[in-house]
Amino acid sequence: MSEEHWVFGIHAVEALLQGQSNRIEELWLQQGRNDKRINELQLHARQVGVKCKTVPREELDKQVDGRHQGVVAFTKPAQTLRDRDLKEMLDGLDHPPLLLILDGVTDPHNLGACLRTADAAGVDAVIAPKDNSAPLNATVRKVACGAAEVVPYIQVTNLARTMKDIQGRGIWITGTAGEAEQSVYQANLTGPVALVMGAEGKGMRRLTRENCDYLINLPMAGSVSSLNVSVATGVCLFEAVRQRVSA
């Protein structure tokens, strides 16, 4: 069975039970575990009609690469969200959008962390190019602690074209770049905003950068030149949250 068809970890499986329980074919629980969190998860699964199975820890270890915390859900493949889904989502919003664009983030741990932060910050959707981006696999879902089940992750065919479509809706696109003159704390991140974060180490691609309305930097006081993309995403998104709450 492919790793992409497994969701593991207590937070990730609980989020799946709450929002997409119909995707779960079977829930595997570690034999011998009888703690409160596992018992609550099993009760929730039975309430929504999900079949539960108790298996030795060794069986869980074989299926996933990571800390499963004694719970693994075998699922139907997640529906891949594409360009049309982004349009429909934006059409249905009743507030100024806050979007996160990830340009070439290929590490699943970084993607999972970005999704977790995006959920906490109230991001409406995370957008990435279909090629050269991390897939929404089991590792991403585990690191995201449930956020991957609730935050739309939309992989688009042509990121530059999608950015132009977003701008056509009156959404301002702000990209992050070390050489930018304006810092994130000087930028106006209220109103309709899409924040662009570049790939680990390389930053945004040239065409992505050219399609941004503004560029901002994160002031660095120490000896390192940049932050991990998931950390930088958290800094920028929560500055946007601060501004939007204060506006």
How many residues make up the chain in this entry? Answer: 247
Cβ 236 vs Cβ 187: under 8 Å: no
Dmax (CA) for the chain in angstroms is 58
**Parallel, antiparallel, or unpaired for β 193-198 and 98-103?**
parallel
Tally of helices (H runs) and strands (E runs) in the chain: 9, 11
Backbone phi and psi for residue 31, each to the nearest 5 degrees, phi listed first: -65, 135
Sorted by where each starts, the structural domains of the chain and their CATH numbers stand as 3-75 (3.30.1330.30), 83-246 (3.40.1280.10)
* pLDDT at residue number 108: 94
Residue 104's Cβ-side half-sphere holds a number of Cα atoms within 13 Å equal to 13
**Closest among 40, 44, 53 to 17, alpha carbons compared:** 44
* pLDDT at residue number 29: 93
* pLDDT at residue number 78: 65
Structure tokens at 28: 């595997």
pLDDT along the chain (247 residues), means of 10: 67 82 90 89 92 92 82 79 90 94 95 95 96 88 84 94 97 94 95 93 91 94 81 96 90
**Closest among 231, 213, 238 to 105, alpha carbons compared:** 231
Alpha-carbon gap, residue 210 to 201, rounded angstroms: 19
Alpha-carbon gap, residue 116 to 110, rounded angstroms: 10
Which residues are 201's β-sheet partners? none
Alpha-carbon gap, residue 107 to 179, rounded angstroms: 24
Write the burial class of residue 12 (CB in 10 Å: 0-12 exposed, 13-18 middle, 19+ buried): buried
3-state secondary structure (DSSP) of residue 93 = coil
For residue 128, the surrounding DSSP H or E stretch is strand 125-129
**Parallel, antiparallel, or unpaired for β 71-75 and 6-8?**
antiparallel
3-state secondary structure (DSSP) of residue 113 = helix
